[in-house]
Chain A
Amino acid sequence: MLREHRPQTLFDRIWQNHVIASQSDGQQLLFIDRHLVHEGSFHGFNKLKDKNARVSRPDLTFGIVDHYAPTRIRDISKIDAAIAGMITQLEENCLANDVRIFGLNDPRQGIVHVVGPEQAITLPGATIVCGDSHTSTHGAFGAIAFGIGASEVAHVLMTQTLWQKKPKSMRVRFDGKLGPGITAKDMALAMIAAIGADGAQGHAIEYTGSAVEGLSMEGRLTLCNLSIESGARCGLIAPDMTTVNFLRNRPLAPKGDLFERAAEAWLSLRRDDDAALERELVIEGSEIAPVVTWGISPEDALPITSAVPMPDAMTDESRAAHTREAIDYMGLRPGMPLTEIPVDRVFIGSCTNSRIEDLRAAAAVLSGRKSAVPGLVSPGSSLVKHQAEQEGLDRIFVDAGLEWVDSGCSMCVGMNGDLVPPGERCASTTNRNFKGRQGPKSRTHLMSPAMVAAAAVTGHLTDVRDLMGGRS
């Protein structure tokens, strides 16, 4: 077939494949391949009911219980009635519309951004939306995946399409090789610290470079998950054999010859070498140290080897004001070394860091050691929980003194009642250190699972590399 060569980025290529119509003002109508709904999607379903409409493509829509999932008692008759109501409401909305649902007691239940890849609902080259900002996670497979609001949820439910203006493109290249103990979480936090929590607003990020190619699917999911914390619309990584091998034989992946045909198409989803680049950021992988957040925005992130910033030394007044507000809320002293910050509890879980590789990394540090503080470990899905138990990881956490519970969004957002008490400080593998995110007046420090495990062992923020001697 003869066609004009117009160099495309990976993002351009997938976007162009989904355009149904274009308006003169730049808006384009996109087909949506996968729509994930959860308990919070009830506003969208209510809009559907108001219009007496039904779900247009129930076969491409999936319901998953995660935001309100109780993690200690799975008998819905024995939990808070308002929380139980949120779960049954989703189940009823899905049932009424013939939408497949992974309910609370389904053995495959879990966090929507963990279950999607695990079941191969998520596929390369797809457009994926969900009423949750961390939908950017699925970009790890080379998909365009982004969070939407309730009005847009209703629009997708009714039409399986969405009007969008194409975001600008940006490439973030991680060169070289990561040092020991450095993970995708550190890569993402280092990037956000460099460009700011609004640094990528209006952009789709393509992650490239040897340090990205070297990541497992779990690591890639963590990296793309945190794209939204830099303000980006979405983040994505070109599919390669790591992607194809992950998907082979997954429950909802294509089967047999169709898989081979699909895999060939997926591997051709690459950016042209001469594709235009609107912005580029290059980070040297070997220079990344373990990163922790000290403040109230994910951009308030620094290598563990540094100290709390000093607002009086800042020339930018609005920057200084934010720093003072953050230091005050977090109960810190300007200039104090980050390793002197004590923690009251730890949390390992969330769509950012709750996959099997994350649990293994935390368990490697905790093995044979005790946690100095209480804490919760909530696996990303019931299948991850099962696998971790097969590997004996649950014993390591329990022996260390941490609580091993069921899967859900849990203490990342606290909707199910798993909260950090007021004034307490939590070392957390989650994605947002916003004021009150883990509960009213809670204080959150974000870091990798291994770093959370290190903080648990010592009772204060700690460079995990100091605890690794001989472990990996």
Chain B
Amino acid sequence: MRPFKTLDAKAAPLPFASVDTDQLIPARFMKRSRSEGYGQYLLYDMRFDGEGNPIEDFPLNDPARAGVEILVGRRNFGAGSSREAAVYALVDYGFRCVIAPSFGDIFASNSVNNGLLPARVTEEDAETILSLLENGQDRAFVDLDTCEIRLANHVFRFEIEPVWRTKLLNGWDDLDLTASYADDIARYMVSDKERHPWLQEIPASI
């Protein structure tokens, strides 16, 4: 996974609370193969009308925002379904960071597993950032080392689980780490068979 240290990029406002994963990628697109790229389905029903035409005043449809890599939302971003496809849609569209006051737990964890930074700010700071982006500002600088966002003349602090920060900074994949514990896993299975045989062995008849 590509490490995340700093990001100096275009940012777009998405001034809604509880942008859930059903909105990030509607269920009907989830049969598609990832190789097609999920970016085209991102926020589909918010970006397009019933006939598939772009909705003019939707922030991501503004040509000036092309190439955007930072998305700023309100509270409870990514609530709902565990579909990692919601993160694929953001990543395939080009996003590397989402800023919001709170995130759905599973969404945040999926984000980190795909190199997308979920940066948690206060509700007050989220409102300030949204307002700056809606009034002429279009870029932000995100520093994961210092956990700071710089925008115009402001500096905002953001929070992220230290475990996730380390993982993103290094671009680590859990599987590499787990492989080094293979013996411990094997030992666990043997001892748990003694302690909880009903968990380790399931009747064969099915």
Interface residues, chain A, with chain B CB atoms under 8 Å away = 17, 20-21, 23, 25-27, 29, 31, 33, 40, 43, 46, 51, 59-60, 68, 82-83, 85-86, 100, 119, 121, 123, 125-126, 131-133, 135, 146-152, 155, 158-161, 163, 165, 167, 196-198, 201-202, 231, 233, 251-255, 258-259, 262, 265, 296-297, 318, 321-322, 325, 413-415, 422, 432, 434-437, 440-441
In the complex, chain A residues whose CB is within 8 Å of the CB of B181: 20-21, 29, 161
Query: Is A59's CB under 8 angstroms from B114's CB?
Result: no
When chains A and B are docked, how far (Å) is the Cα of A51 from the Cα of B110? 19
CB distance from A227 to the nearest CB of B (A): 11
Q: In the complex, given contacts A125-B196, A254-B198, what are 14 additional A-B residue pairs having Cβ atoms less than 8 angstroms apart?
A: A20-B181, A132-B82, A135-B82, A148-B106, A149-B83, A149-B109, A149-B110, A150-B110, A163-B174, A231-B79, A258-B197, A265-B196, A297-B18, A432-B22
* B8-33 interface bits toward A, Cβ cutoff 8 Å, 1 = contact, 0 = none: 00000001111010110011101100
Query: Is B163's CB under 8 angstroms from A149's CB?
Result: no
When chains A and B are docked, how far (Å) is the Cα of A133 from the Cα of B82? 5
- With beta carbons under 8 angstroms apart, the residue of A40, A133, A159, A251 that contacts B203 is A251
The residue in chain B whose Cβ has the minimal distance to the Cβ of A100 is B206
When chains A and B are docked, how far (Å) is the Cα of A258 from the Cα of B181? 31
Query: Is B184's CB under 8 angstroms from A318's CB?
Result: no
Asked if B84 is at the interface (CB within 8 A of a chain A CB), the reply is yes
CB distance from A168 to the nearest CB of B (A): 11
Q: How many residues of B contact A (CB 8 A)?
A: 62
Query: Is B45's CB under 8 angstroms from A440's CB?
Result: yes
Within 8 A of A (CB), among B14-72: 15-18, 20, 22-23, 26-28, 30-31, 34, 45, 50
Query: Is B50's CB under 8 angstroms from A413's CB?
Result: no
Interchain residue pairs with CB less than 8 A apart (29): A17-B195, A17-B196, A29-B184, A40-B30, A43-B85, A125-B196, A151-B174, A158-B175, A159-B175, A160-B185, A165-B161, A198-B104, A201-B103, A202-B105, A231-B76, A233-B105, A251-B205, A251-B206, A254-B203, A259-B198, A318-B75, A322-B17, A414-B27, A414-B28, A432-B22, A435-B22, A436-B22, A440-B50, A441-B50
Query: Is B185's CB under 8 angstroms from A151's CB?
Result: no
When chains A and B are docked, how far (Å) is the Cα of A318 from the Cα of B76? 12
Asked if B178 is at the interface (CB within 8 A of a chain A CB), the reply is yes
Query: Is A435's CB under 8 angstroms from B45's CB?
Result: yes
Query: Is B80's CB under 8 angstroms from A436's CB?
Result: no
CB distance from B125 to the nearest CB of A (A): 13
In the complex, chain B residues whose CB is within 8 Å of the CB of A259: 198
In the complex, chain A residues whose CB is within 8 Å of the CB of B17: 297, 318, 321-322
In the complex, chain A residues whose CB is within 8 Å of the CB of B104: 198, 201, 231
When chains A and B are docked, how far (Å) is the Cα of A25 from the Cα of B75? 27
When chains A and B are docked, how far (Å) is the Cα of A271 from the Cα of B60? 49
When chains A and B are docked, how far (Å) is the Cα of A446 from the Cα of B50? 25
Query: Is A258's CB under 8 angstroms from B198's CB?
Result: yes
Interface residues, chain B, with chain A CB atoms under 8 Å away = 15-18, 20, 22-23, 26-28, 30-31, 34, 45, 50, 74-76, 79-85, 87, 102-106, 109-110, 113-114, 123, 127, 161-163, 166, 174-175, 177-178, 181, 184-185, 188-189, 192, 195-203, 205-206
When chains A and B are docked, how far (Å) is the Cα of A40 from the Cα of B103? 22
The residue in chain A whose Cβ has the minimal distance to the Cβ of B204 is A59
Using A198-B79, A252-B202, A265-B196 as known contacts, say yes or no to A437 and B105 having CB atoms under 8 A apart: no
Query: Is B31's CB under 8 angstroms from A85's CB?
Result: yes
- With beta carbons under 8 angstroms apart, the residue of A85, A135, A201 that contacts B105 is A201
The residue in chain A whose Cβ has the minimal distance to the Cβ of B75 is A198
In the complex, chain B residues whose CB is within 8 Å of the CB of A161: 178, 181, 185
Query: Is A82's CB under 8 angstroms from B22's CB?
Result: no
Query: Is A125's CB under 8 angstroms from B82's CB?
Result: no
In the complex, chain A residues whose CB is within 8 Å of the CB of B189: 31
When chains A and B are docked, how far (Å) is the Cα of A23 from the Cα of B96? 27
Query: Is A432's CB under 8 angstroms from B113's CB?
Result: no
Using A59-B202, A258-B197, A436-B26 as known contacts, say yes or no to A29 and B178 having CB atoms under 8 A apart: yes
Q: Which 8 A-B pairs have the closest CB atoms?
A: A149-B110, A149-B84, A151-B113, A150-B84, A147-B82, A254-B198, A198-B76, A133-B82
Query: Is A197's CB under 8 angstroms from B114's CB?
Result: no
The residue in chain A whose Cβ has the minimal distance to the Cβ of B79 is A197
When chains A and B are docked, how far (Å) is the Cα of A51 from the Cα of B23? 31
Query: Is B27's CB under 8 angstroms from A434's CB?
Result: no
Query: Is B105's CB under 8 angstroms from A318's CB?
Result: no
